[in-house]
A and B are shown apart, each in its own frame.
Chain A
Amino acid sequence: MTAAELFHARVLEDGRQLRNRPLYAPWLDRGPSLAALEDVPLPEPRSYTWEYSNPNPWYERNASGSDHDGSTEGIAASRGVEVSDFDAAESRERDVIDANLNATIDRRRYPLAFVNDVLLHRGVVIEVPAGASGAEIELGPLGGDFERVLLVVGDGAEATLLERPASPAHRIVECLVGADASLRHTRLQSATDSLEYHLVSSRVSAGARYRFAQYAQGSTMRRNDIHIEAAGDGADIEIHGAWHLSGRQHLDTQINVHHSAGGGTSRQTVRGVVDDRAKAVFNGRIHIAPGAQRTDAALSAKHMLLAPAAQAYAKPELEIYANDVKCAHGATMGEIDSDALFYLRSRGIGEAIARDLLVAGFLEEALGDLHPGEARALLNVQARERLA
């Protein structure tokens, strides 16, 4: 048996036992997910999209049982935002969860989401009422290995979600952005020695705006799947990715922007810096479904390698099934620009500081206005004075 198969069997076994006496949020019916999992294989090393990341250590780590740190804190939200733990959900919240949980996720494509359903340690549902403005939500560690966040932003509402560093084995964040709503979503991931698999799945309704930033250092193995759907006419999506890896860190980021409705726009800007023996994997996919006419999509992904043994694998992918669209993509891989380095040094700036400046400047291109201060601190680029 492979590690994936052993883990799969363990999850099914646990799931069957839990089905009779679930410890957490017993009202949630794990049955359908458990049944689906019976015939869905889990990713194996080198299966599609797992060419450069080995999931086996993740399976082995999580097959030996789970750790809870016992905390149930980790969420701060501004007034007017409804936050409820799945375990404590009343009937109204249960209805919201039932109606929306997994609504955005194609779990056959992301089969580890079934595992999350079955082994769930902690889930929270966050609701921003329609028309609310200036809603702010901050997430810290939620205290489980298998975590679930369901954010429902009502029509016309405006909200900000900031995920502070946390290292569960598996967190799924699902965002439903209502019509004409606006969500800013920033995720910070600091360096750890853990094994992690995460999924962000967001659905953006007509006229809505979703801006998402993934700022990360690496871990022993960290995989981020990001699936964002422009589901309504004129949905506007902006994605920022910036990472700075060192040591033997591993970070695998797979972004899938799916345009299923027309007139949408999406912009992806990714900058990765890889040092030492670290490894960055990036896949940026733009899918334009039949009928998603007048879509305007662009992807720019650049990686900078700072050491001979540093590795980056970057692949842009386009799948276009509509004829009246604009779509642009570019991926580059390079080292520090020697002309720029000489230019800075000729101004008296020592080589080490000059390199830091160039790395910081490179990453800066991906920050935009989504929590740039937090991003700079996380990415270990100099605290930069804003002088002008």
Chain B
Amino acid sequence: MLEITDLHARAAGKPILKGIDLVVRPGEVHAIMGPNGSGKSTLANALAGRPDVEVTAGDMRLVGTSLIGLAPEERAHLGLFLAFQYPVEIPGVSNMEFLKAAVDSHNKALERDELSAASFVALVREAASRLHLAPEFLRRGVNAGFSGGEKKRNEILQMLLLEPRLAVLDETDSGLDIDALRTVASGVNAFASEANAVLLITHYQRLLDHITPDFVHVLLDGRIARTGDKSLAHALEADGYARLAESGT
């Protein structure tokens, strides 16, 4: 599904990723943990093609196709989805209109038939109700005035509608109360299947109480310092990243 080899990247001109290797197969859930500044978000943004992240060496391949040099929308059409750590507010564009533009663009790129307005609305309402989002929420501007929890649920809504091959969730748990965390986690669990894969980027292990990863990777100073199963997350919670950094790889 995803193969990252010796990835080096700079963000705002500064070297952040210093040789990432990672393989994610269909049906797997991977968690990437690490302290602030270790490069977690830069990795997510490098995958999605954020303009201010510059890949300086290495490769990222999604279903065999290199992402290097592809526009963000081309990566999305290949099946990549990034749930943003800080979803952007766009007040004048209604959420529904935004979702329709996103789904239409996928259908067009993949040469699928366009959905009728009625079946699209039905699809969105169904997905929204699963995430406990009121219909009113779809009429408002994209993320405009949404609470932290609403923004994150809106990201999951987009993921459910776009059905990506690989979903990268960048600190989707941050700023959520326990109920919102459960709702988000159940959305991710409902999404995860043998046909897709999930990359969870998180600072804390509490999200992993609700979504069970197959692999946990610890990112330190732009490299994967340790890989294990979910018990690694618990060990980190108990000992902290500092202990791991001291013990080396």
Contacts and interface: CB of A to CB of B under 8 A. Distances in A.
B102 interface: yes
Interface in A344-363: 344-351, 353-354, 357-358, 360-363
Contacts of A363: 92
Q: Report whether over half of chain B's contact residues are helix, strand or loop; otherwise say mixed.
A: helix
B204 interface: no
Given A364-B93, A387-B96, A350 B88 contact: no
Nearest to A363: B92
Interface residues of A, number: 28
Interface stretch (B7-15, B25-33, B72-80, B174-182): B72-80
A388 B138 contact: yes
A361 B141 contact: yes
A351 B162 contact: no
Nearest to B106: A348
A64 interface: no
A384 B97 contact: yes
Given A348-B162, A350-B73, A362 B101 contact: no
Contact of B71 (A347, A351, A388): A351
Interface string B126-147: 0000000001001101000000
B93 A349 contact: no
A361 B102 contact: no
Interface in B36-64: 48-51
A350 B49 CA distance: 13
Contacts of A388: 94-96, 121, 135, 138-139
Contacts of A349: 73, 101-102, 105
Interface stretch (A47-55, A84-92, A164-172, A335-343): A335-343
A348 B109 contact: yes
A344 B84 CA distance: 11
B98 interface: yes
Contacts of A82: none
Interface SS of chain A = helix
A345 B100 contact: no
Interface string A353-381: 11001101111110000000000000000
Contacts of B240: none
Given A358-B93, A387-B97, A345 B88 contact: no
B97 A346 contact: no
A385 interface: yes
A369 to B, nearest CB: 14
A342 B105 contact: no
A328 to B, nearest CB: 18
Contacts of B96: 387-388
Contact of B121 (A342, A361, A362, A387): A387
16 contacts: A343-B84, A344-B90, A345-B49, A346-B73, A346-B75, A347-B158, A348-B109, A349-B102, A350-B73, A361-B90, A361-B92, A363-B92, A365-B91, A387-B94, A388-B94, A388-B139
Interface of A: 337-340, 342-351, 353-354, 357-358, 360-365, 384-385, 387-388
Given A363-B92, A385-B97, A388-B94, 17 more contacts: A338-B51, A343-B88, A346-B49, A346-B81, A346-B82, A346-B84, A347-B102, A348-B109, A350-B73, A357-B93, A357-B97, A357-B98, A357-B101, A358-B93, A360-B93, A361-B90, A387-B94
